[in-house]
Structure 1
Amino acid sequence: MSRDPPLAAHGLDQAQELAEFLANPPSEEGLPVPDLLFSSPFFRCIQTASVTAQKLQIPLKLEHGVQEWYSQVLPDTGLHPRPGHAEQLKQFFPDILDEQYRSTVYASRSGESVSELQARCDLFVDVFVNRIEAEYPNVKTVAIFAHAASVIALGRALTGDKAMEIRAGCATTSFYRRKSPSRLDNATQLEPMTNGTASAPGSASLEQKNTEQQKANNAKSPGGVGCWDCIWNGRADYLALGEERNWGFQDIILNAEGHVISDRGDGRPVKPGDDQPIGLAPGMEIYLTRDDIYSPLKRGTAVPGQNVERAVLSMTAEPSQQTSRPPALQRKASGAMIESRM
Structure 2
Amino acid sequence: MLEVIYVVRHGYRSNWTVDPSTGHYNSTVPSPTGIVADPALASYGVQQARELGTHLTKLNPPVDLIYSSPFYRCIQTLKPFTDALASSGKSAKVHVDRGVGEFYGQARFDHPSPATIEVLNDHFDNLIEAETSIIPSKNGESIPQLHDRVAYALNAIISRADNDPSEPKTLLICTHAAAMIAIGRALTGRMPEDECEDDFNCFTCSFSMGLPQAWNPEKADEVPDVGWRGRGVAGGWDCEVNGDCSFLTGGEERGWNFEMEKQQYNMEHGLAADALGPPLTAEQQVAAPGVEEDKEAGKKQ
- What is the TM-score of this pair, normalised by structure 2? 0.69
Q: Could you list the runs of 5+ residues in structure 1 that have no partner in the other structure?
A: 26-30, 190-215, 266-323, 333-342
- CA distance in 1 between counterparts of 2:85 and 2:279 reads 25
Corresponding letter in the other structure for 2:123 = F
Deviation at 1:34, TM superposition (A): 0.9
Match for 2:46 among 7, 12, 15?
12
Show the counterpart of 1:43.
72
Alpha-carbon contact 2:188-2:232 (below 8 Å) kept: no
Match for 1:132 among 146, 153, 161?
161
How many residue pairs get aligned? The number is 232
Match for 1:263 among 264, 269, 277?
269
Corresponding letter in the other structure for 1:240 = T
Deviation at 1:225, TM superposition (A): 5.5
Cα deviation, 1:2-47, whole Å, max 9, x if unaligned, reads 211110111011111111111113xxxxx32110111100011110
- CA distance in 1 between counterparts of 2:61 and 2:107 reads 40
Residue 178 (structure 2) pairs with residue 178 (structure 1)? no
- CA distance in 2 between counterparts of 1:123 and 1:63 reads 12
Deviation at 1:241, TM superposition (A): 1.5
Deviation at 1:166, TM superposition (A): 0.5
Alpha-carbon contact 2:95-2:127 (below 8 Å) kept: yes
Q: Could you list the runs of 5+ residues in structure 2 that have no partner in the other structure?
A: 1-34, 87-91, 281-301
Show the counterpart of 1:110.
139
Using a 3 Å threshold, how does the CA distance of structure 1 residues 4 and 238 change in structure 2: closer, same or farther?
Answer: same
Corresponding letter in the other structure for 2:207 = T
- CA distance in 1 between counterparts of 2:186 and 2:78 reads 22
Corresponding letter in the other structure for 2:142 = S
Cα deviation, 1:292-328, whole Å, max 9, x if unaligned, reads xxxxxxxxxxxxxxxxxxxxxxxxxxxxxxxx74631
Show the counterpart of 2:276.
328
Alpha-carbon contact 2:181-2:202 (below 8 Å) kept: yes
Cα deviation, 1:113-165, whole Å, max 9, x if unaligned, reads 11111111121222221121113551111100000000000110000111270
Residue 182 (structure 2) pairs with residue 153 (structure 1)? yes
Cα deviation, 1:63-100, whole Å, max 9, x if unaligned, reads 100101001113xxx3111113322310011x23125x
Which has the larger strand fraction? 2
Deviation at 1:48, TM superposition (A): 0.3
Task: Report the aligned-residue RMSD.
Answer: 3.0
Alpha-carbon contact 1:62-1:103 (below 8 Å) kept: no
Other structure's SS at 2:163 match: helix
Q: Which has the larger radius of gyration?
A: 1
Alpha-carbon contact 1:161-1:226 (below 8 Å) kept: no
Match for 1:96 among 126, 135, 144?
126
Using a 3 Å threshold, how does the CA distance of structure 1 residues 111 and 261 change in structure 2: closer, same or farther?
Answer: farther
Alpha-carbon contact 1:261-1:325 (below 8 Å) kept: no
Alpha-carbon contact 1:38-1:144 (below 8 Å) kept: yes
Using a 3 Å threshold, how does the CA distance of structure 1 residues 217 and 119 change in structure 2: closer, same or farther?
Answer: closer
Alpha-carbon contact 2:64-2:168 (below 8 Å) kept: yes
Alpha-carbon contact 1:69-1:117 (below 8 Å) kept: yes
Match for 1:79 among 87, 110, 114?
110
Residue 11 (structure 2) pairs with residue 63 (structure 1)? no
- CA distance in 1 between counterparts of 2:131 and 2:261 reads 31
Using a 3 Å threshold, how does the CA distance of structure 1 residues 226 and 134 change in structure 2: closer, same or farther?
Answer: closer
Deviation at 1:330, TM superposition (A): 12
Deviation at 1:329, TM superposition (A): 7.2
Other structure's SS at 2:110 match: coil
Alpha-carbon contact 2:176-2:274 (below 8 Å) kept: no
Deviation at 1:103, TM superposition (A): 3.1
Show the counterpart of 1:24.
58
Other structure's SS at 1:145 match: strand
Corresponding letter in the other structure for 2:269 = D
- CA distance in 2 between counterparts of 1:113 and 1:247 reads 17
Residue 260 (structure 2) pairs with residue 231 (structure 1)? no
Show the counterpart of 1:187.
220
- What is the TM-score of this pair, normalised by structure 1? 0.61
- CA distance in 1 between counterparts of 2:103 and 2:218 reads 32
Other structure's SS at 1:122 match: helix
- CA distance in 2 between counterparts of 1:228 and 1:248 reads 21
Other structure's SS at 2:36 match: coil
- CA distance in 2 between counterparts of 1:172 and 1:330 reads 16
Deviation at 1:224, TM superposition (A): 2.1
Deviation at 1:56, TM superposition (A): 1.7
